[in-house]
Amino acid sequence: MGKTVLLIEDEPNIIEAISFILSRDGWTVDTHSNGHDAVEVVMGRRPDVLILDVMLPGKSGYEILSELRGSLSPKDLPVLMLTARGQSKDRELAERSGVNRFMTKPFANAEVLEAVRSLVVA
């Protein structure tokens, strides 16, 4: 497959779980754990899919996504957003920011895999 996922997440157990699931499926998984320089990291690495946590140190996932959408369309960079808060206002904010898919924690491993695969096909 040779596709790359960039996971921006600050919880080690989630990083480990998602990295394991995706690498077992043939993905190359890069990780980053803070919001401060996340936009620069994304622009530098240009992943096929971005998995972005909402709650990050330095800058929220919403802010990062809004900045990225200034130069990359949802087709250029598919984004799966993860959040521990699944209220409809969070989902609406993610959609306004230009997210492709939205998933609440905790999630099933199969759900993450299916979501990432669907973003590349889309």
CATH code for the domain in which residue 76 is found: 3.40.50.2300
pLDDT given at position 1? 47
* Residue at 46: amino acid letter: R
Neighbour count for residue 91 (Cβ, 10 Å): 16
**SS3 call for 18:** helix
Q: How many domains does the chain divide into?
A: 1
Range of the domain at 33: 4-121
What pLDDT band is residue 122 in, cutting at 50, 70 and 90? low
Q: Is the pLDDT of residue 2 over 80?
A: no
Write out pLDDT tens, residues 28-51.
999 999 999 999 999 999 999 999
pTM score: 0.95
